Amino acid sequence: MRAIIRVSDGLDWLLRRLAAGCFVGMLVFVSIQVVARYILREPPTWTEELARFAMVWGGLLGATVAYKSQYDPVLIRLSDRNSAFLRWAMRLIRLAAPPIFLGPVLYFSIFGPNMDMARGFLGRSALRTADTLGFPMIYIALAVPIAACAILIHWLARFGEEATGDDPSID
Amino acid sequence: EVKIAHDSPADPEGSGTYVWGHAFAEHLKANGMDAKEYERGSLGEEAERLDQVSQGLLEVSMSDVKSAGKVDKLIFGAYLPYLFDDIDHLDRAMNDAGLMAEINKRVKQGGIRVLALTALGPPSGIFNTKKPVETVADMADLRMRALDESQIALFKTWGTTGTIVSWAEVPNALQTGVADGYINPVFVPVMFGHTDFIKYFTDAKLTNAVRLAIASSDWYDGLSDKERGIVDAATVAATKANREWLAARESKMIEEVKAAGVAVTYLTPEARAEFVERSKQTYSDGVLSPEDAKLWIDASASTK
Amino acid sequence: MGWAVVVSMVIFLVSGTAIAYVAGASTVLAYLASDKSRYLAILPQRIFAQLDVFALMAMPLFILTGEIMNRAGITKALIDFSMSVVGRLKGGLGHVNIMTSVFFAGISGSAVADAAALSNTLVPAMEEQGYKRIYAAAVTAASSVIGPIIPPSIILIIYGALMETSVAALFVAGIIPGLLLAFVLFAVNAFYAYRDNHPGGRNADLPPFWPSFVKAAPALALPIIIVGGIIFGVVTPTEAATLSVVTATLVGMLYGGIDRSVIWEALTRTAILSGAIFIILSAVACLGYLAGLLQWPQQLGNLVAAGGFSGLEYLLVMNLIFLIAGMIMDVPVALTLLVPILAPVALQQGIDPVHLGIVLCFNLCIGLITPPLGGCLIVTSTVAKVNYWELARAVLPFALAELVVLGCLVLIPELSLFLPRLAGFVSR
Ligand code: NA
Ligand code: NA
């Protein structure tokens, strides 16, 4: 369990920096687009697409950081006055949600029909070319399974903490 | 059940691709196959529909040319400026000169099959917010919204510049002057509500205005011989309905854009010749490889 | 089948699951329950397509602008200056908040993105001046509705395109309803200012005008550059968001408030806030696909058609549907799916398309700030770090006032049609 928690912490350290970097990239690409419009006779065509891709990566990596720092908004918070059994049941339900959502996302990113990897989301995007950049879409599409995978690793670590800790915080 | 995803409102008067999809569905139903039409947007935008088709989750989608172009660029040749006299010429090149077969051979790896080109309206021309464009020289001080590299290259040979603006921001860009115009089929400003700021149209007849009907190759290949016969016949019937719609609508579309307050300019033969000549310089430096461009040029020549 | 979604949603919600995972997990269960599990294969592409949108960029960029402004002392300079101007009014900063929405919001096309941007600047500033955080968040969420009504408005452009209605006419038509809405919000804010003794008023300790003006001058350049950049056609609205980050950083340097740790904190907080919102958008998009596959909007349309409503009745039923749609979908999506189904009948019954457009857009936007589920409420509570239900309760008086305005707009078409008629856009 300790190992998972360490992996999760290290991963978060890395992804935080990558996410911040993506947003800087997005800023730079849009700036190039604006500047190029007024000074270049042949403005680069890839600025819009690259900026969008930086946002997709940044936003999805940001989602992993949000999960790790428990920043995802919650509509209903339980009071501590509930019975121990109720709190235990609620904790289980809460822990069930992320894998139910992200499990299929991860699975179908990798596998297509008949568990054929070439026809999964990643396999399909490897065959498609980005509109202006000319490289395969898989470099961008990877953001989806990587974010899902990272959140599931953080989830395992939280599962470990909540299972071993005696009174987990509700947040 | 055959799901058919539309890309335009259910308007048999105004939308040629709706006519195609609807006629296709009706033909399948009349011959005992189960078909269901889905409204625009209900199964997602272009990239998503392409993805569903390639997985066999969606059987038929009315899609943009880029959908097939993302798997293989050959299809983009349909947009080479001034390569085809009219849509019949393009149809002959696709079907008689074997381009359709070659395209389908190449896009099969992406799980899709191009059923047909669907006509949208008269050939595309030049729209702008500033002034009537009568000659290539008039383009010089217009900053044009460009879709891709080939349009940037085209604007360069016309002696003007392009700028990249995402389609969602085009209305704003045209209103404020970030961009002064764009290339599009005649009906686009009316359909997208741009006629409040687009004031001039030049009927430059650059390229045929077409989109695609694509099908899942899994689904198509998995059909029984009888079913495939019905689907092929439905394709023929739908394409016929679409071309008849075009013949009936073509002239009216220019009238509609006039009625919306857009001044229409027609090119003199000399002015047109200059557009043609300059545009042809882009055949080799657009999105197509020189070999692929040659396939199209040859096909055009052999079916003139 | 619909019940399976609702029940699992309620169970997940009550257990304290985060909204994104409530929506995501319930959606997956709904695919299973409706025997559409084969279509779960679309999830990764659906998420990708939902996020791969140029205009969405305005959200992280304006959040980043807010982060930099707050940390570099720009917000404080702007607020001091505003207080020196409007501080004589009780609740002055609340009025400033509403005014800002009139000028600024609605440019990104997503009321949710605008709410995120404004929450991040105005809420901390109001709190610093002595407002309760929850009240500041409520004013921000409530006034984020004005933006898309007053031009420029991407939402009205989408409606115009769908209904082949003049966008210029819609823009002109939005002016009176938008201003009316602003005045009603001013009134609600003034009421609370007196009842709860908000800062400002005759005896308040106001910052002197000239010194605060001089201090704020560089910061005042910021909105001028952004708005000017859009109006004079230098940048598109989304690009303006980039311009705002760059300008805020430069102005911050002038104030000496920018160093490496400020930039790092601003960037990571932007990543977290955007990420938290992106994952919600993703989960909701997955549910939206199922709705499309099962043809829910069409079934709704048939249901309404079967009801045989006419005239005003039909308009009221439509309002109800759009109000609910605004709760669960982003405005452009709701418009694209529902307008083609519902609007033609309304037009047959003699309702003017311009009037209808204003009413529907207004309506969808109110849906964003009404419980149980409102996009702007979720975003504002996330960014401002306040409890969702407390915020929903604090917004309620504003939302009720907005419903009254909506009622007026429905019953008095002239409110929407007077100006367009004056400008010659509407003949009847
Ligand atoms: Na606005
Ligand atoms: Na709501």
Q: pLDDT tens, B213-253?
A: 999 999 999 999 999 999 999 999 999 999 999 999 988 89
Q: Do A59 and C278 touch (CB under 8 A)?
A: yes
DSSP string, C191-238: HHHHHTT-S-STTS-PPPHHHHHHHHHHHHHHHHHHHHHHHTTSS-HH
Q: Is A132 on the interface with B (CB under 8 A)?
A: yes
Cis? peptide before C371, omega within 30° of 0: no
Q: Do A90 and C16 touch (CB under 8 A)?
A: yes
Per the DSSP assignment, residues forming a β-bridge with B209 are B121
Quote the percentage of chain C above a pLDDT of 70: 90
The span from the CA of A134 to the CA of A152, in Å, is 32
The span from the CA of C92 to the CA of C100, in Å, is 12
Alpha-carbon gap: C354 to the closest alpha carbon of chain B (Å): 13
Banded pLDDT at C62 (limits 50, 70, 90): confident
More confident residue, C201 or B153: B153
The burial of B261, by beta-carbon neighbours within 10 Å (0-12 exposed, 13-18 middle, 19 or more buried), is given as exposed
CB contact set of A58 (below 8 Å; sequence gap of 6+) = A19, A20, A21, A22, A23, A25, A26, C60, C271, C274
CA-nearest residue to A14 within chain C is: C268
Q: Number of H helices and number of E strands within chain A?
A: 6, 0
Q: Where is average pLDDT lowest: A45-54, B172-181, C163-172, C321-330?
A: C321-330
Are the C-beta atoms of residues C94 and C126 closer than 8 Å to each other? yes
Q: End-to-end distance of chain B based on CA atoms, in angstroms?
A: 40
Chain A residues touching residue C264 (CB < 8 angstroms): 20
Q: Are strands B209-216 and B60-63 parallel, antiparallel or unpaired?
A: antiparallel
Distance B29 CA to ligand 1 centre (A): 47
Q: Where is average pLDDT lowest: A122-131, B206-215, C62-71?
A: C62-71
**Closest by Cβ to A48, choosing from B66, B149, B164:** B164
Cα-based torsion angle of the residue sequence C23, C29, C35, C41 in order, rounded to the nearest 10 degrees: 70
What pLDDT is attached to residue A170? 42
- What is the Cα A99 distance to its own chain's centre? 13
Residue B67 tokens, joined: 């959908």
Instruction: Compute the half-sphere exposure of residue C279: CA atoms within 13 Å on the CB side of its CA.
Output: 34
What pLDDT is attached to residue B139? 93
Q: Where is average pLDDT lowest: C11-15, C215-219, C260-264?
A: C215-219
Q: Is C160 on the interface with B (CB under 8 A)?
A: yes
What pLDDT is attached to residue A169? 47
Banded pLDDT at C175 (limits 50, 70, 90): confident
Q: Quote the ipTM score.
A: 0.86
Q: Where is average pLDDT lowest: B48-52, B122-126, C348-352?
A: C348-352
Distance C399 CA to ligand 2 centre (A): 10
What pLDDT is attached to residue B300? 94
What pLDDT is attached to residue C320? 83
Q: Which of residues 193-212 of B touch C (CB under 8 A)?
A: 193-196
What pLDDT is attached to residue B173? 83
CA-nearest residue to B45 within chain C is: C49
pLDDT of A80 above 70: no
- Spans of all domains in chain C: 2-422
Element (H, E) at C417: helix C414-422
Q: Which of residues 29-68 of A touch B (CB under 8 A)?
A: 33, 37, 40-45, 47-48
The sign one gets for the Cα dihedral C75, C78, C83, C84 is positive
Q: Do B173 and C236 touch (CB under 8 A)?
A: yes
Chain A residues touching residue B143 (CB < 8 angstroms): 37
Cis? peptide before C152, omega within 30° of 0: yes
Main-chain dihedrals φ then ψ at residue C253, nearest 5 degrees: -65, -40
Q: Apex CA C359: angle with CA C176 and CA C111, to 5°?
A: 85
Banded pLDDT at C340 (limits 50, 70, 90): confident
Quote the percentage of chain C above a pLDDT of 90: 18
Q: Which chains touch A (3 or more CB pairs under 8 A)?
A: B, C
More confident residue, C59 or B118: B118
What pLDDT is attached to residue C203? 61
The span from the CA of C29 to the CA of C34, in Å, is 9
Neighbours of C320 (CB within 10 A): 12
- What is the Cα B275 distance to its own chain's centre? 20
pLDDT of C110 above 70: no
Averaged confidence pLDDT in chain C: 82
Residue B162 tokens, joined: 């392009």
Chain C residues touching residue B171 (CB < 8 angstroms): 157, 167
Give the mean model confidence (pLDDT) for residues A6-25.
Answer: 96
User: Of C31, C153, C236, C299, which to mutate for an interface test with B (greatest number of B Cβ within 10 Å)?
Assistant: C236
What pLDDT is attached to residue C427? 56
Distance C364 CA to ligand 2 centre (A): 9
